[in-house]
């Protein structure tokens, strides 16, 4: 097990680099370029929120998994904006080579599974891939058009993309979205339909990309944000689901982790090693859940809020495992970046065992067993209390 788990963790550590790949799009508040990890999280949220558009032959769970993986190759190849002159055949060759190397870090069975799913997405021929690709072509349009003050040069790219580019086919594939994008471009009133009644939720979710956590990226270059964190722990849960103490519905775990930090848009991040009034924080998060899930149609909003509440309660097998994964990602990062938040908060090893070890052991004890000797060595080297 140790060699297999070490290989899986090595893959997940390399995946952290996707958080440093900048895209041509910017956040909706125009504060900085979007990165490919938080973009992947946002697309997964689009897949969940627009589930009524998926059709009976689509597995939204598989589409979400495709979207978690689809940009990983950019760790090696970088992002390629659609409006720039590019040798797309050369890009395709580079991305296929990157996919073989990156997914090859995993144990052979998972390497094949992940690579096949990425290849299926790229081929864009199955119902699941077509749904995922449609969202990948649609979401960036509204990332531009729903910005606080849309950049004129980005608006021009959207107009061309809808007219003669990759997004033109949305006129038939996703006509409600196409019509609304054209209305935004032309400054005409929007109609209320299945798409426009979900869009405010998806636009508001962009703000999670500006919520900073106490933890830092593996390369120690900056603090992590809650959107890219959510993407990363979804990947963690998928790769490590075999270590769940009870069998779990992994797609359900992924949905929980997709949603779990949304309330931080209003309530902020709650550092596990900080001094927090938990009753006040819980009240803030419950109010945030009311507001954010209330942006969706009532039935869907209630269903997603219930899933978020299930995660918070941490009683179901899926929630227990999800909580374990949520706790285990930061220690793995801190082991790589010189202690990170442990140094900032002067954390002791007994504190870590209580705050992190207990929930990890409850949901995935093998992960904590694997971590413990590394933690002891790190805390000793850093001179932190053991």
Please check whether residues 178 and 307 belong to one and the same domain: no
Query: Is the residue at 208 inside a domain?
Result: no
Name the residue among 375, 381, 197 with its Cα closest to residue 294.
197
What pLDDT band is residue 5 in, cutting at 50, 70 and 90?
Answer: very high
Q: How far apart are CA 228 and CA 17, in angstroms?
A: 11
pLDDT at 85: 83
Residues in Cβ contact with 257 at an 8 Å cutoff, skipping those fewer than 6 apart: 230, 233, 234, 237, 311, 322, 325, 326
What is the tens place of the pLDDT at every residue in 156-209? 999 999 999 999 999 999 999 999 999 999 999 888 999 999 999 999 999 999
pLDDT at 274: 73
Query: Is the residue at 232 inside a domain?
Result: yes
What pLDDT band is residue 86 in, cutting at 50, 70 and 90?
Answer: confident
Largest Cα span, the chain: 64
124: left (phi over 0), alpha (psi -120 to 50) or beta: left
Please check whether residues 145 and 227 belong to one and the same domain: no
Q: Is the pLDDT of residue 13 over 90?
A: yes
Please check whether residues 119 and 11 belong to one and the same domain: yes
pLDDT at 1: 65
What is the tens place of the pLDDT at every residue in 205-240? 999 999 999 999 999 999 999 999 999 999 999 999
pLDDT at 270: 82
What is the tens place of the pLDDT at every residue in 90-138? 999 999 999 999 999 999 999 999 999 999 999 999 999 999 999 999 9
pLDDT at 340: 87
Q: How far apart are CA 135 and CA 151, in angstroms?
A: 22
Tokens of 46: 């689009």
φ/ψ (deg, to 5) at 35: -105, 165
Tokens of 331: 């220690």
Query: Is the residue at 201 inside a domain?
Result: no
- Dihedral sign for Cα atoms in the order 90, 96, 97, 98: positive
Pairing of strands 223-225, 22-26: unpaired
φ/ψ (deg, to 5) at 224: -75, 150
Please check whether residues 259 and 290 belong to one and the same domain: yes
Using alpha carbons, list the distances in angstroms from residue 384 to 262, 373, 378: 33, 15, 9
Q: What DSSP character marks residue 354?
A: I
- Dihedral sign for Cα atoms in the order 165, 128, 34, 113: negative
Residues in Cβ contact with 152 at an 8 Å cutoff, skipping those fewer than 6 apart: none
Residue that is written with structure tokens 């060595």 in the block = 377
Please check whether residues 276 and 189 belong to one and the same domain: no
Please check whether residues 120 and 22 belong to one and the same domain: yes
Query: Is the residue at 206 inside a domain?
Result: no
Domain of residue 350: give its range.
214-382
pLDDT at 110: 98
Instruction: State how many domains the chain has.
Output: 2
Q: How far apart are CA 131 and CA 177, in angstroms?
A: 13
What is the tens place of the pLDDT at every residue in 270-319? 877 877 778 899 999 999 999 999 999 999 999 999 999 999 999 999 99
φ/ψ (deg, to 5) at 212: -90, 140
What pLDDT band is residue 43 in, cutting at 50, 70 and 90?
Answer: very high
CATH of the domain at 128: 1.10.3210.10
Dump strand ranges (E) for the chain: 22-26, 33-35, 212-216, 223-225
Give the SS3 label for residue 23. Answer: strand
Name the residue among 228, 271, 265, 309 with its Cα closest to residue 44.
228
Q: Which of 162, 193, 224 is the last residue of a domain?
A: 193
pLDDT at 285: 95
Query: Is the residue at 204 inside a domain?
Result: no
Residue that is written with structure tokens 């969202």 in the block = 135
What is the tens place of the pLDDT at every residue in 351-382? 999 999 999 999 999 999 999 999 999 999 99
Please check whether residues 232 and 378 belong to one and the same domain: yes
What is the tens place of the pLDDT at every residue in 235-274? 999 999 999 999 999 999 999 999 999 999 999 988 778 7
Please check whether residues 115 and 250 belong to one and the same domain: no
């Amino acid at each position: 097990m140790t060699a297999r788990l070490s290989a899986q963790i090595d893959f997940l550590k390399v995946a952290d680099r996707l958080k440093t790949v900048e895209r041509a799009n910017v956040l909706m508040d125009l504060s900085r370029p979007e990165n490919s990890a938080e973009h992947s999280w946002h697309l997964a949220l689009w897949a969940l929120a627009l589930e009524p558009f998926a059709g009976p032959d689509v597995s939204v769970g598989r589409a979400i998994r495709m979207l978690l993986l689809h940009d990983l190759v950019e760790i090696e190849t970088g992002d390629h904006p659609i409006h720039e002159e590019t040798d797309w055949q050369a890009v395709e060759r580079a991305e296929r080579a990157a996919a073989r190397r990156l997914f090859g870090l995993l144990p052979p069975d998972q390497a094949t599974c992940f690579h096949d799913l990425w290849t299926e997405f790229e081929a864009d021929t199955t119902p699941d891939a077509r749904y995922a690709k449609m969202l990948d072509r649609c979401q960036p349009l509204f990332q531009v058009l729903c910005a606080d003050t849309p950049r004129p040069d980005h608006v021009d790219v959207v107009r061309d993309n809808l007219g003669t580019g990759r997004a033109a086919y949305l006129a038939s594939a996703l006509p409600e979205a196409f019509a609304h994008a054209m209305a935004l471009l032309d400054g005409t009133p929007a109609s209320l339909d299945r798409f426009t009644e979900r869009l405010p939720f998806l636009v508001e979710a962009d703000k999670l990309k500006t919520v900073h956590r106490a933890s830092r990226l593996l390369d120690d270059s900056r603090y992590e944000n809650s959107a890219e964190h959510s993407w990363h722990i979804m990947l963690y849960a998928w790769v490590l689901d075999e270590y769940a103490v009870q069998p779990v519905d992994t797609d359900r775990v992924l949905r929980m982790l997709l949603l779990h930090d949304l309330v931080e848009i209003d309530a902020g991040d709650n550092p596990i090693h900080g001094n927090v009034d938990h009753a006040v924080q819980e009240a803030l998060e419950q109010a945030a859940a009311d507001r954010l899930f209330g942006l969706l149609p009532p039935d869907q909003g209630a269903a997603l809020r219930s899933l978020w509440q299930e995660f918070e309660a941490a009683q179901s097998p899926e929630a227990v495992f999800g909580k374990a994964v949520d706790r285990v990602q930061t220690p793995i990062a801190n082991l790589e970046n010189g202690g990170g938040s442990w140094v900032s908060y002067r954390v002791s090893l007994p504190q870590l065992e209580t705050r992190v070890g207990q929930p990890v052991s409850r949901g995935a004890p093998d992960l904590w067993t694997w971590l413990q000797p590394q933690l002891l060595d790190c805390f000793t080297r850093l001179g932190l209390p053991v």
